[in-house]
Amino acid sequence: MKIGIVCYPTFGGSGVVATELGKALAERGHQVHFISYHQPVRLDFFSENVSYHEVAVSNYPLFEYSPYETALTSKLVDVIKFEQLDILHVHYAIPHASVAYMAKQILADLGIHIPFVTTLHGTDITLVGRDSGFLPVVTFAINHSDAVTAVSESLRQDTFAHFKINKEIEVIPNFIDLERFSKSRKEHFRKAIAPNGEKLIVHASNFRKVKRVGDVVKVFHRINKKIPSKLLLIGDGPERHAVERDCRDCDDCMDIRFLGKQEAVEEILSVSDLFLLTSETESFGLAALEAMACQVPVISTNTGGSPELNIHGVTGFLSNVGDVDDMAKNAIYILEDETRLLQFKANALERAKEFDINKITPLYENLYERVVAANKILFGV
């Protein structure tokens, strides 16, 4: 199949999922065309089945806000026409779903009928999409997608709750490449960070408000009082500066390290003992899945799709949003007993295996086949 993938190229979860899916599809023999305004971060290799098409964003002085949607639509029309794509898969509804709809209409005028699949990732529904400034467009674009997927049952329910949706939404969860995300021996790294055998606690995110990174630090203070530990914070984003500044005034400031954006997250996860995900809402929690694949148990909030991944008392624990005392209590329970910690680590890996990329990619392939077949019946092409 010839598949076009539209995504955000940044470190965000939707871009990572889109890129890893495209790579897996290419390995399975499909021709994959990525279309974005920047080369996706994980698209750092050459494959004869992968092409990248960059959208040039105009800086014409009249535009205070560059019309990215128009540029992306034109690029889609051009790539779909020239490369004769069979299907388009857009990740994150805003603005990709409405752009795909527009491109589809332009191409229909030219006698080219391409179907598109929209994957909802989370904040496009739970935060931004619900905003009245976006709602009518997002609703329309979802309803006019040829197929819609959500990354968890919770996100599927949220979409029906917040938008007037008249079509089915399939759940296809996030997935993990277990070859890349596996525990590797990085003891020298662990020794450098935790020279006295301290436990290593880790958090990774884009430091947006929704992640409540301040809670991560609060949970850490409580853990560190009982069990000597170090906290590693991976990633960057709008809240980092404030959180980092607050940490500088803390007694255990020297136990907290801000690592910024990291390519080889799996190497850090490999030496970690516990992952903290304190989000207000998390449609799936890809970062937690990456940790679990590296045998790191998870202390998370119980909102959104987190309970569909993190099994309370088995792979970690779930607490109410903001209940840092409960999170710390659960973290200490896992960390204070070495045998218990090892059991939680093993459980985390077993759970992660259920989201193996080799199990999930065929679900997308199957969806594409159904959508393309239905499109053929509709247009006789």
Enumerate binding residues for ligand GMT (CB under 6 A).
12-15, 17, 92, 121-123, 151, 174, 206, 208, 210, 279, 281-286
Q: What count of residues does the chain have?
A: 381
- Reported as half-sphere exposure (CB side, CA atoms, 13 A), residue 217 has a value of 25
To the nearest whole angstrom, how small is the minimum distance from the Cβ of residue 26 to ligand GMT? Answer: 20
To the nearest whole angstrom, how small is the minimum distance from the Cβ of residue 245 to ligand GMT? Answer: 22
Q: Decide if 271 contacts 191 (C-beta within 8 A).
A: no
Output 24 or 286, the one with its CB closest to ligand GMT: 286
Output 22 or 122, the one with its CB closest to ligand GMT: 122
Q: Decide if 301 contacts 295 (C-beta within 8 A).
A: no
To the nearest whole angstrom, how small is the minimum distance from the Cβ of residue 227 to ligand GMT? Answer: 28
Output 41 or 250, the one with its CB closest to ligand GMT: 41
Output 86 or 173, the one with its CB closest to ligand GMT: 173
Centre a 10 Å sphere on the Cβ of residue 62 and count the other Cβ atoms it contains. 5
Output 69 or 83, the one with its CB closest to ligand GMT: 69
- CA–CA separation, 279 and 285 (whole Å): 9
Output 107 or 276, the one with its CB closest to ligand GMT: 276
To the nearest whole angstrom, how small is the minimum distance from the Cβ of residue 343 to ligand GMT? Answer: 26
- CA–CA separation, 58 and 55 (whole Å): 9
Closest CA to 316 of 182, 201, 224: 201
**Between the CA of residue 141 and those of 102, 124, 150, 352, what are the distances in Å?**
9, 12, 14, 32
- Name, in order, each residue with C-beta under 8 angstroms of 149's C-beta and a sequence gap of 6 or more: 117, 118, 119, 120, 169, 170, 171, 172, 364, 367
To the nearest whole angstrom, how small is the minimum distance from the Cβ of residue 194 to ligand GMT? Answer: 27
To the nearest whole angstrom, how small is the minimum distance from the Cβ of residue 166 to ligand GMT? Answer: 24
Exposed/middle/buried for residue 370 (C-beta within 10 Å: 0-12, 13-18, 19+): middle
To the nearest whole angstrom, how small is the minimum distance from the Cβ of residue 183 to ligand GMT? Answer: 21
Output 16 or 114, the one with its CB closest to ligand GMT: 16
What is the rounded radius of gyration, in angstroms, for the C-alpha atoms of the chain? 22
